Amino acid sequence: MDILALLISIVAIILACLAYQRSGGTVEEMKQKVEDLGISMESLRAKTADLLNAVEKKLRGEDKPPAGQDEPPKE
């Protein structure tokens, strides 16, 4: 059963590539679009991480020493 699903998937990919080429697209364009998507996803991931870091700092507040203790010396 798994082999049949694999064969159907391969045929579907081949048909999709042929349809894309027939509509005027080239394999190089498709590769470029996939690479561009990867770059934009990496940029989005970095921005999301920065935003989550800022939210975490706001929720947790500034790290303050317990009352009665001096702050460690700053270098």
The answer to whether residue 60 sits within a structural domain is: no
Residues 27 and 17 sit within 8 Å (Cβ to Cβ): yes
The answer to whether residue 62 sits within a structural domain is: no
Total structural domains within the chain? 1
The range of the structural domain enclosing residue 7 comes to: 2-55
Q: What is the pLDDT of residues 4-59, one digit of tens each?
A: 999 999 999 999 988 888 888 777 887 888 888 888 888 888 999 999 999 988 88
The answer to whether residue 51 sits within a structural domain is: yes
d(CA 46, CA 55): 14
The DSSP secondary structure of the chain, one letter per residue, reads -HHHHHHHHHHHHHHHHHHHHHTT--HHHHHHHHHHHHHHHHHHHHHHHHHHHHHHHHHH----PPTT-PPPPP-
The answer to whether residue 70 sits within a structural domain is: no
The answer to whether residue 14 sits within a structural domain is: yes
Is the pLDDT reported for residue 75 higher than 60? no
The answer to whether residue 61 sits within a structural domain is: no
The answer to whether residue 31 sits within a structural domain is: yes
